[in-house]
Amino acid sequence: MKTRQLTTAQALVQFLIQQHSRRDGVTRRFIPKVLGIFGHGNVAGLGEALQAAGHTLPYIPGRNEQALVHAAAGFAKMTNRLQTLACTSSVGPGATNMITGAAGATINRVPVLLLPGDIFATRRVAPVLQQLESSSSQDVSVNDAFRPVSRYWDRIQRPEQLVTSVLEAMRVLTSVSDTGAVTLCLPEDVQSEAWDFPESLFEPRIWEVRRPLPDREALTRAVESIRAAKRPLIVAGGGVLYSESAKALAEFSRAFGIPVAETQAGKGSLAFDHPLSLGAIGATGTRGANVLAREADVVIGIGTRYSDFTTASKTAFQHPEVRFVNINVGEFDAFKHGGVAVVADAREALIALGEAMKGFVAPAEWRTRASEANRDWDQEVTRIYSTACPTRPSQGEIIGAVNDAAGERGIVVCAAGSLPGDLHKLWRARHPKSYHLEYGYSCMGYEVAGGMGVKMAAPDREVFVMVGDGSWLMMSSELVTAHQEGVKLIVVLIDNGGYGSIGSLSISLGSGGFGTQLRYRDEDGSLSSRQVPVDYASNARSLGLKVHSADTLADLRQALRDAVASTETAVIVTHSDTSVKVGGYESWWDVPPAEVSTIESVRAARTAYDEAKKKERWYL
């Protein structure tokens, strides 16, 4: 057997260069770049290996390890999980910074490869700088904290262990059902240790991303359920987009007259003007989607994990005999709610269902109601887009301006705060990949970093990052990295003086927005009415970026036009009229107020909560 003497880090880099994914006959380089920040735990090992590899595996130095994982996740999501990026950090705080990003990737079923440095395998010089010591075991480091948030986790204690570990890592990364964060912990000394690796490890390798076909028996049961339906409803999740089955879904919906509602991850599965598109569903859903969901007798979930936002905390589907047909590549999700589990690729399942359901069409009255709901909602969006607030624009107007600027191919990126709920309802998706929300984890700080990853995956499309002031202050650092790498973003920063979303939730729970606004503290220790001023325009300008201040809606529209015309990253700072909000539409979210309280408004909120909770159901 031919061998090649390499360090562990060099072997890992050479292996990654040769990994490819293939679906529908198209082959792609699976990990085209590595993001990271060097420290003593990886600079001499992986750092040297990446330096030697040069342009064959480009290295991008970042500013925050968590943000880099978000960027990798954004890249992977934009490429429909057919590619991703690797992220490396030093041992200690650099490693633990990546844990939040790892959790987000795994929750969202998005592949990322994490390569944190680790403590010395020899233990001779322990404790090393940044080492967490344990009195119960010497085989513990902070990297053990990655275990619960990783789909695959390993610690490479000897160079030869890399051979089998990297193959398992790639299996999980390219799995359609078990993907998520993969963590390979690399002890500092082992990274630089040499071994004679098998030459065959470095041959080009293609990982087939398969399209599982539906089981015949499951398909038969699904067809029987749908044919018996009087009011069928499709809930389109992220699996529709990852499987590139938007076209198949549009044809299926039109052929059988079944309306479609979309989750956060599935928004864009149907163009907003498709006559059977109901738009968003659940706690942040449209009026039509939630009304029809309440009456649906068969719910066809395609690629959805049925989060509490999608099901409105198990209150969305109120038909007394509602049944579920769940199409998903993962058994875990397919078997939820006691439904008929069709474990299959979304596109293949839709094609197979379409063949088996010929002759069926949903009742005319149901189809008509769906089309009317589509038109009514479009009018509601137009109304919100043109509210014409007397001073500052409303958040709905801001979304409308960005939507207009995005046109047919622009992509909006967001993650946390009140923006995701409003975007879910209001964004007019014209393209399956025009809407990019991280809402499985709703991670503040994802916006800018995720946007950078999205733009790296789609360099020919404009990327509009919408971010509130709270998330901006938490993590805007990767704008420097984007600027450094020539990755153009258009960032719309909305200053609303604090944590607007959670503030509104606090008010609805009777707590008056306590602790959610940026306020000075008075001498008596209480929070005053004086707001802490932050000059976000100067903050962004200090990062070397082009900045626009937009006080009016007209200013915002002009700034967006200028940003689109430019080749440089731009930050547009605007304020919203927080008194004008986009309401809820026929839905609810379970957040329990205190059962006992001295605050009268909290007691009132609890009374309303107890009444609303009566609508929660078991779907068995």
Co-location of 299 and 410 in the same domain:
no
What pLDDT is stored for residue 521 in this prediction? 82
Angle formed by the axes of helices 395-406 and 553-565, nearest 10° = 30
Asked, as a colleague might, if the bond just before 127 is cis with ω within 30 of 0, I would say: yes
Residue 527 in this model has a pLDDT that exceeds 90: no
Q: What is the mean pLDDT of residues 66-79?
A: 98
Classify 144 as helix, strand or coil: helix
Co-location of 253 and 361 in the same domain:
yes
Co-location of 78 and 97 in the same domain:
yes
Residue 236 maps to a domain? yes
What pLDDT is stored for residue 127 in this prediction? 92
Q: Dihedral sign, CA of 156, 161, 167, 171?
A: negative
- Give Dmax over CA atoms of the chain in angstroms: 78
What pLDDT is stored for residue 56 in this prediction? 97
pLDDT digits (tens, 9 = 90+) for 532-590: 888 999 999 999 999 999 989 999 999 999 999 999 999 999 998 888 889 899 999 99
What pLDDT is stored for residue 230 in this prediction? 98
Co-location of 518 and 500 in the same domain:
yes
- 25 or 522, higher pLDDT: 25
Entry pTM: 0.96
Residue 519 in this model has a pLDDT that exceeds 90: no
- Is there a contact between 272 and 426 (Cβ–Cβ < 8 Å)? no
What pLDDT is stored for residue 518 in this prediction? 78
Query: Which DSSP letter does residue 193 get?
Result: -
> Quick one: which of 589, 521, 595 has its CA closest to 310?
589
Total domain count, the chain: 3
pLDDT digits (tens, 9 = 90+) for 261-274: 999 999 999 999 99
From first CA to last CA, the distance across the chain in angstroms is 56
Q: What is the mean pLDDT of residues 495-513?
A: 80
Co-location of 194 and 314 in the same domain:
no
Co-location of 337 and 401 in the same domain:
no
Residue 500 in this model has a pLDDT that exceeds 80: no
Residue 124 maps to a domain? yes
Confidence at 505, pLDDT banded by 50, 70, 90: confident
Q: Write out the DSSP string of 47-90.
A: HHHHHHHGGGS-EEE-S-HHHHHHHHHHHHHHTTTS---EEEE-
pLDDT digits (tens, 9 = 90+) for 442-470: 999 999 999 999 999 999 999 999 999 99
Co-location of 395 and 347 in the same domain:
no
Any residues with CB less than 8 A from the CB of 128 and at least 6 apart, and which?
40, 91, 119, 120, 188
pLDDT digits (tens, 9 = 90+) for 202-261: 999 999 999 999 999 999 999 999 999 999 999 999 999 999 999 999 999 999 999 999
Residue 586 maps to a domain? no
Residue 58 maps to a domain? yes
What pLDDT is stored for residue 264 in this prediction? 97
Cα(131)–Cα(124) distance, rounded to whole angstroms?
A: 13
Q: What is the helix (H) or strand (E) element at residue 94, kind and residue range?
A: helix 93-97
Confidence at 497, pLDDT banded by 50, 70, 90: confident
Residue 606 maps to a domain? no
pLDDT digits (tens, 9 = 90+) for 104-157: 999 999 999 999 999 999 999 999 999 899 989 998 999 999 999 999 999 999
Residue 174 in this model has a pLDDT that exceeds 90: yes
Residue 609 maps to a domain? no
Co-location of 363 and 285 in the same domain:
yes
Cα(66)–Cα(125) distance, rounded to whole angstroms?
A: 28
Amino acid at 308: D
Residue 614 maps to a domain? no
What pLDDT is stored for residue 390 in this prediction? 72
Residue 526 in this model has a pLDDT that exceeds 80: no
The C-alpha torsion from 593 through 594 and 598 to 601, rounded to 10°, is 10
Structure tokens given for 176: 């359609």
- Is there a contact between 612 and 588 (Cβ–Cβ < 8 Å)? yes
Q: What is the domain extent for residue 259?
A: 216-376
Co-location of 451 and 540 in the same domain:
yes
- Is there a contact between 450 and 74 (Cβ–Cβ < 8 Å)? yes
The CATH number given to whatever domain includes residue 240 is 3.40.50.1220
Bridging pattern class, strands 232-236 and 194-198: unpaired
The CATH number given to whatever domain includes residue 169 is 3.40.50.970
Residue 520 in this model has a pLDDT that exceeds 80: no
Structure tokens given for 30: 């699976």
- 508 or 608, higher pLDDT: 608
The H-assigned helical ranges of 176-237 are: 188-192, 216-227
What pLDDT is stored for residue 619 in this prediction? 92
Residue 115 maps to a domain? yes
pLDDT digits (tens, 9 = 90+) for 282-301: 999 999 999 999 999 999 99
Confidence at 5, pLDDT banded by 50, 70, 90: very high
Cα(243)–Cα(237) distance, rounded to whole angstroms?
A: 11
Residue whose pair of structure tokens reads 């063949």 in the numeric block: 355
pLDDT digits (tens, 9 = 90+) for 157-173: 999 999 999 999 999 99
User: Which of 322, 343, 376 is the last residue in one of the domains?
Assistant: 376
Co-location of 393 and 295 in the same domain:
no
Co-location of 231 and 314 in the same domain:
yes
What pLDDT is stored for residue 376 in this prediction? 98
Q: Beginning with the edge strand found earlier in the chain, give each strand of the sheet holding 411-414 in spatial order.
A: 435-437, 411-414, 463-468, 490-495, 570-575, 546-550
Co-location of 339 and 274 in the same domain:
yes
Residue 485 in this model has a pLDDT that exceeds 90: yes
